[in-house]
């Protein structure tokens, strides 16, 4: 049997993506000021970023980054276990743990790295990991990396999660879910999942990338909304690339759980630690999240305004009351055409297509931010009404 040439496989895969209108291209952002971005020399209002509270450009956050870089340099110089664990990292971990009511925090370079590390470290062959089918890819990949049995229940189906846990009684069990789902914007049924986990002796692990900072008192996220604490949710991941406006992620849990991850997780042990300056910047973001509730109030007002306007214009809305407002169009070509139409009208909204979402679920993923004005939202709604009703040109889309 002849060996497959990698170049032939890649060419065939690309041809298939072209046929399905599934090619992905990166847009170069030349400059950014608030919600406005410069793309190809043209200023657009962006509705596709995750800077929900507008903190990525906040003067306090930028100043903290600059000052810490001036004192401590750019890089951490090594992995956390060798020479990379800095006092800025330690201070931020302590502050995050205190804020959210956990014993210990552990800072990672990214949420993706963190989920690979956590699941690979805690689970092994003979264990089971039960996950929502719409969980982020890094949770799925982390379970696969661990060698455990991965079971995925239909979206938000608590009874199915219970059945899947009951079907495997040996080994350790971990129930993992997003707090807010990144493509649909809806919230996980955390209170019910916590009951299931307790009944089945499973550890509940929540990745609250899109809930933290945005939901609940002080922005304490999906757990606070559901009335849950570290007792019901022993492991919580707080990614920092959304409401915090930065980069990285903090794992929160008991000292025993977090210490085990820190001492055994290969993605943590063999990665250079994050820059100390980024940790300093995220401490500044945390202070703003805790002390400026007006940001969440404004964001909630913009979400409500968008949903009222979308409903009045007959746009297809999902059951989301978070800053993530998907407009599901189904067909890849139609989603691309709608995105292109919005850009001609001055708005940057990316078309999200498989495999990021299921087949037939291509969409415009609108995300709202404190940086947007009411006029921005109203303008986008008018542009969306025009973009969605138009049919794509099969030749140019």
Q: Which helix (H) or strand (E) holds 97?
A: helix 87-100
Cα 59 → chain centroid: 24
Cα 266 → chain centroid: 22
* Angle subtended at Cα 176 by Cα 350 and Cα 242, rounded to the nearest 5 degrees: 35
Q: Is 24 annotated as a binding-site member?
A: yes
User: Would you say 38 and 32 are in contact if contact means Cβ atoms under 8 Å apart?
Assistant: yes
What would the two tokens of residue 304 be? 């409500």
State the chain's maximal CA–CA distance in angstroms. Answer: 66
- What does the alpha-carbon distance between residue 32 and residue 116 come to, in Å, rounded to a whole number? 31
Cα 134 → chain centroid: 12
Q: Is 347 annotated as a binding-site member?
A: no
What would the two tokens of residue 180 be? 């807010």
374: closest CA among 278, 277, 306, 275?
306
Describe the strand order of the beta sheet including 42-46 as a list of residue ranges.
29-33, 36-39, 42-46, 347-348
Show the beta-strand stretches assigned E in the chain: 29-33, 36-39, 42-46, 104-108, 128-132, 149-153, 173-178, 203-207, 235-239, 249-253, 324-330, 347-348, 351-352, 362-367
Q: Is 111 annotated as a binding-site member?
A: yes
Phi-psi region of 219 (alpha: psi -120 to 50; beta: other; left: phi over 0): left
Q: Is 210 annotated as a binding-site member?
A: yes
Q: How do beta strands 235-239 and 249-253 pair? A: antiparallel
The CA–CA distances, whole Å, from 388 to 228, 318, 328, 382 equal 40, 15, 10, 10
Output the CA torsion sign for 133, 137, 142, 148.
positive
Q: Is 153 annotated as a binding-site member?
A: no
Q: Is 73 annotated as a binding-site member?
A: no
In order, the DSSP letters of 272-310 are BPPPHHHHHHHHHHHHHHHH-THHHHHHHHHHHHHHHHH
Q: Is 102 annotated as a binding-site member?
A: no
Residues placed in the known binding site for pyridoxal 5'-phosphate: 111-112, 182, 210
Residues placed in the known binding site for substrate: 24, 136, 356
Residues placed in the known binding site: 24, 111-112, 136, 182, 210, 356
């Amino acid at each position: 049997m002849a060996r497959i040439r990698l170049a032939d496989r890649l060419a065939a895969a690309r041809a298939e993506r072209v046929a399905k209108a599934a090619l992905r291209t990166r847009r170069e952002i030349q400059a950014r000021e608030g919600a406005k971005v410069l793309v190809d020399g043209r200023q657009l209002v962006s509705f596709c970023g995750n800077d929900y509270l507008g903190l990525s450009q906040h003067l306090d956050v930028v100043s903290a980054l600059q000052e810490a870089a001036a004192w401590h340099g750019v890089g951490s110089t090594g992995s956390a276990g060798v020479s990379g664990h800095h006092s800025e990292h330690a201070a931020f971990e302590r502050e995050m743990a205190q804020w959210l009511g956990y014993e210990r925090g552990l800072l990672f370079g990214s949420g993706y790295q963190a989920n690979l590390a956590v699941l690979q470290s805690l689970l092994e062959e003979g264990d089971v990991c039960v996950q929502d089918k719409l969980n982020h890819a890094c949770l799925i990949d982390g379970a696969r990396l661990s060698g455990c049995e991965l079971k995925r229940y239909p979206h938000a189906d608590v009874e199915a999660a219970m059945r899947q846990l009951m079907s495997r009684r040996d080994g350790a069990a971990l129930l993992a879910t997003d707090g807010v789902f990144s493509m649909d914007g809806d919230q996980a049924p955390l209170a019910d999942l916590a009951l299931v986990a307790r009944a089945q002796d499973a550890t509940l692990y929540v990745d609250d990338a899109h809930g933290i900072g945005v939901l609940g008192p002080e922005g304490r996220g999906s757990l606070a909304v559901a009335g849950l604490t570290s007792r019901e949710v022993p492991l919580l991941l707080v990614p920092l690339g959304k409401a915090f406006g930065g980069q990285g992620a903090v794992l929160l849990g008991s000292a025993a759980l977090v210490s085990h991850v820190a001492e055994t997780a290969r993605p943590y042990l063999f990665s250079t630690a994050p820059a100390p300056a980024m940790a300093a910047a995220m401490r500044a973001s945390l202070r703003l999240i805790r002390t400026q509730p007006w940001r969440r109030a404004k964001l909630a007002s913009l979400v409500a305004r968008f949903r009222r306007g979308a409903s009045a214009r007959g746009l297809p809305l999902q059951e989301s009351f978070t800053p993530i407002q998907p407009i599901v169009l189904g067909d890849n070509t139609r989603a691309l055409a709608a995105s292109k139409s919005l850009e001609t009208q001055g708005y940057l909204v990316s078309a999200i297509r498989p495999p990021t979402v299921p087949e037939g679920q291509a969409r415009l993923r609108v995300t709202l931010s404190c940086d947007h004005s009411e006029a921005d939202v109203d303008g986008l709604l008018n542009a969306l009404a025009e973009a969605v009703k138009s049919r794509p040109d099969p030749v140019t889309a």
